Chain A
Amino acid sequence: MSTTVTPTTVDDLRDAVLDRPGTLRVAGAGTAADWAGTPAPADTVLDLTGLSGIVTHNPGDMTVEVRAGTPFAALQAELGEHHQRVAVDPARAAEGATLGGLFATADSGPRALQYGSLRDLVIGATIVLADGTVARSGGHVIKNVAGYDLTKVLHGAHGTLGVIAGLVLRLHPSPQATATVAVPCDRAASADLARRIADSPAEAVAVQWHGVAGQGGRLLADVEGSESGADARARRLADAVGGELLAPDDAAAAWEAHAVAVRARPDGRAVLRFGVVPSALTGVLDGLEADAGDLGDVTASPRTGVATVALPADADVVAAAHRRVAAAGGTSTLRQRPTGADLPAFGPAPASAVVLRAVAASLDPDQRLGRGRLAPWVPTPESTGVSA
């Protein structure tokens, strides 16, 4: 049985790491508890939802320091009052996901096309290592090359290597207006349409294809700017690609349906998130469908090459899907593992896994944190520590 501690300060967190013997598992809102590798049973769960709130927001500098357990949606709402935002839009935010959780799971949304993911927006961090060391990296200025960019290594670490206690982010102004163009199309046609959107002067900040199982699909493109500018550009874009400028309510509904598909938890299925070079995306999706059958509702970004699909919760099928993505030069991560299913979290280990294991051994030699989450790239040690 594991016990749960809920630190409310960085000092509390450090004390908990030092005082609790054995293995530790970091938990946020629990919206990605079954992403990546299956966690080994931990002696203590570090519940970071108590480590919440903005530490400092400097609107003039467009930076904010935030405690890791802060719900992302609440952070956005607070920044919105200053007409600022963190320019990422992960689907999980609506389910209460925390900033730290989104960072640790390398989650991002459609706006990654324009703004990148959280790894591109983070400028500093406070981390607590498994031996109780509290370290900072980066700082409060957006431009900073002093020392290693340590924060990056926790992006996608799924609660291993170190505990993220807080992050400093660069902010963007909220756009005055957003306009959405929708083009009904099937997957095969989406790549060419998306290219035409990219080649137009519209400067779309998000281009996503959303296919509904058994039905057709459509491409959604978002344009940001001034009230008049965004609308005019979206209109020109709609004309150029044979799409429709959606009314604000319809646009919100279309993107909400897209987000619901991304965070869907289809019963008894595995969910895979992968990224390949954009020109390979359609081919990989076709291949996955040929291998695994129905992929459920598919969301895909034809311009970034990132897609989310559902697969049968079968270890061989999931392994084959990972291999197919890897063969196309991409990477993939398991995003839903039905209870009890033993599914591979990642594809074949890259050559860099040797370095990853060395970094893990250096920062957390006893593998106290998030054991199993990066397996098999970082194998789980044989001994289970001091688990009672």
Chain B
Amino acid sequence: MLDAAMVREFTDLLSDNGVITDEVGLRSYECDGLTGFRQVPALVVLPRDAQEVAGAVRLCAKYGMPFVARGAGTGLSGGAMPVADGVVISLQKLRRILEIDVENRRAVLEPGVYNLEISKAAAPYGLYYAPDPSSQQVCTIGGNVAENSGGAHCLKYGFTTNHVLEMEVVLADGSVATLGGPTGEQAGPDLRGLFIGSEGTLGVCTKVTVRLLQTPETVRTVLADFPSIEAAGDTVGDIVDAAIIPAAVEMMDSLAMEASEAATGAGLTVDSPAALIIELDGPADEVEAEFEHLTAICERHGATRLHVPTEAEERQKVWKGRKAAFAAVGRISPDYIVQDGVVPRTRLAEVLTRIAEMGRDAGLRVANVFHAGDGNLHPLVLYSESAGEHDAAEKLSTDIAELCVELGGSLSGEHGIGTDKACSMPTMFSADDLGVMHRVRLAFDPDSRCNPGKLFPTPRLCGERPGKYAPHPLEEAGVIERL
């Protein structure tokens, strides 16, 4: 239990009033973007640099306290939900872009730097940072590392793990190590790749070196309406078969477009059953040739409208219509849950049909916004908390994620497992699979104090709603451990 003397140690360690202990202050950290899971932490610390992070982690180690690293708190899986009697280590003061190395096309960043800030800082040099989660204006690179974030453009360019070269991490005992190296080819096992996407359970990242790419010579975007979801899905299939790798292929259904159009006025056709936003980038001649091919494929599948924005501003407007869709759904439903399952792209039509059936059976509406190129779905389950629909929505959402696994896919494409989907992990992984992951976890963090209760299914998490932690008698006796 945290006492006044311990709080004083944290206060002495951290400069600039870097400790929050008051109830109101603590409460503002009680959840991340998944607001259904809440837990007020015992303490929040805001270190100013990597040394202070390491110091705070060492104090946690000294007192055997669990801790949760937190970036902007925009995660959608409860990965940054605090632990009762634990410390939240907020990285929001570590916000410096340490270097834009134009010559070597890389940027060195503190973890609290916002994703979009990287590309803004690199833009004057004709460079940019490729992974672009929808929340890129407000999510941090440290959080991206924890979740291995993707984005609309990762079909062509890959995920966070494909763009991070090197990281400085603070391990559970407060020691500091560098993972990765200055090139993609490093000596020895790729601990960097293991750490990325580990959802804060292996340590705290305090510095990141990412690759920067050259801004493509040409970008062409088309917003295409289709008479049915199937026609849009078939279009994507034919694009892939034509050996075209678009920078992005996004699909929205009518419900999602209705919400987004009301919020953004992006120019979406609200009564169209489906639309694709397809973007090509690269050398001008290649892009022009492929773009022609692409629009022909759209027309062959009965596209009812092809909107080709010519100005950058117009293109951004179309993208705004896509990227704002999650938030916009709040306009057509008081509450909603965002899902993040993945299916092999060739099973898109099948999964969408089944989701529609499941929604009907549950008496709930489901809006669909997703990355069609890589099969990453984002069904939005709409419900009303006040109408008592929460549990039904929660169940439908879980059933959809598990359906994705049944169809040969994954529980999560980019939002992570966190608290939200930990209980579904056994549908995707065997006890042996999870056991091996857990062995790796213990190698990094023998006492499981880094972000406990996330990613791995635990009886406590999966048996009951989160509440105040109290050690089980068997735990105190050292017979069992809390994952």
Contacts and interface: CB of A to CB of B under 8 A. Distances in A.
B237 interface: yes
A145 B413 contact: yes
Contacts of A333: 187-188
A147 B455 contact: yes
B188 A63 contact: no
Interface in B388-423: 408-417, 421
A385 interface: no
B147 A145 contact: yes
Q: Which of B158, B196, B410 has the most CB of A within 10 A?
A: B410
Interface in A134-153: 134-137, 139-150, 152-153
B410 A350 contact: no
A346 B197 contact: no
Interface string A191-218: 0000100110111000000000000000
Interface in A313-336: 329-333
A229 B436 contact: no
B183 interface: yes
A148 B194 contact: yes
Interface in B90-133: 101, 103-106, 126
Q: Which of A134, A141, A143, A276 has the most CB of B within 10 A?
A: A143
A330 B177 contact: no
A147 B342 contact: no
Contacts of B142: none
A136 B436 CA distance: 9
Nearest to A120: B162
Contacts of A273: 185
Contacts of A228: 285, 289
Interface stretch (A54-62, A243-251, A257-265): A54-62
B107 to A, nearest CB: 13
B24 to A, nearest CB: 34
Nearest to A322: B187
Interface in B54-90: none
A9 interface: no
Contact of B437 (A108, A147, A277): A147
A20 interface: no
A146 B417 contact: yes
A83 B243 CA distance: 8
Interface in B181-223: 181-194, 196-198, 214, 217
A152 B161 CA distance: 10
A26 to B, nearest CB: 14
Contacts of B442: 362
Q: Which of B104, B158, B245, B415 has the most CB of A within 10 A?
A: B104
A203 B282 contact: yes
B240 A143 contact: no
A233 B434 CA distance: 49
Interface string A16-39: 000000000000000000000000
Interface in A145-203: 145-150, 152-157, 160-161, 172-174, 176, 195, 198-199, 201-203
B236 to A, nearest CB: 10
Contacts of A277: 101, 104, 106, 182-183
Contacts of A232: 285
B21 interface: no
B428 to A, nearest CB: 6
Q: Which of A129, A133, A154, A229 has the most CB of B within 10 A?
A: A229
Contacts of A280: 182
B444 interface: yes
A72 to B, nearest CB: 17
A116 B425 contact: no
A331 B184 contact: no
Contact of A152 (B183, B193, B343, B428): B193
Contacts of B197: 145, 148-149
Contacts of B182: 275-277, 280, 305, 329-330
A363 B440 contact: yes
Given A143-B159, A150-B437, A155-B189, A201 B217 contact: yes
A233 B285 contact: yes
A279 B148 contact: no
Contacts of A374: 188-189
Contacts of A63: 344
Interface in A266-300: 273, 275-280
B104 A60 contact: no
A139 B194 contact: no
A329 B286 CA distance: 38
A306 B104 CA distance: 13
A355 B374 contact: no
A144 B340 CA distance: 10
A358 interface: yes
Interface string B129-166: 00000000000000000011010001100110110000
B22 interface: no
A40 interface: no
B193 A304 contact: no
A387 interface: no
Interface string B331-373: 0000000000011111000000000000000000000000100
B297 to A, nearest CB: 15
A137 B439 contact: no
A5 interface: no
A366 B53 CA distance: 35
Given A306-B183, A361-B443, A147 B189 contact: no
Given A137-B433, A201-B284, A143 B150 contact: yes
Q: Which of B106, B178, B182, B421 has the most CB of A within 10 A?
A: B182
Contact of A150 (B186, B411, B415, B436): B436
B410 A150 contact: no
A119 B190 contact: yes
Contacts of A152: 161, 189-194
Q: Which of B101, B417, B432 has the most CB of A within 10 A?
A: B432
B428 A363 contact: no
A58 B245 contact: no
Contacts of B343: 141
B380 interface: no
B185 A155 contact: no
Contacts of B428: 139, 146-147
Q: Which of A145, A148, A153 has the most CB of B within 10 A?
A: A145
B439 A363 contact: yes
B217 to A, nearest CB: 4
5 contacts: A147-B434, A275-B183, A278-B104, A304-B183, A358-B443
Interface of A: 58, 60-63, 83, 106, 108, 112, 116-117, 119-120, 127, 129, 133-137, 139-150, 152-157, 160-161, 172-174, 176, 195, 198-199, 201-203, 225-226, 228-229, 232-233, 273, 275-280, 304-306, 329-333, 346-347, 350-352, 354-356, 358-359, 361-363, 374, 377
Given A149-B193, A152-B194, 12 more contacts: A60-B237, A60-B344, A112-B184, A134-B432, A139-B408, A141-B408, A144-B410, A147-B428, A152-B189, A155-B189, A346-B187, A358-B444
Interface of B: 101, 103-106, 126, 147-148, 150, 154-155, 158-159, 161-162, 171, 175-179, 181-194, 196-198, 214, 217, 237, 240-241, 243-245, 282-286, 289, 342-346, 371, 374-376, 408-417, 421, 425, 428-430, 432-437, 439-444, 455
In the A-B complex, the 7 residue pairs with the closest CB atoms: A152-B193, A275-B183, A173-B243, A331-B187, A358-B443, A362-B443, A144-B410
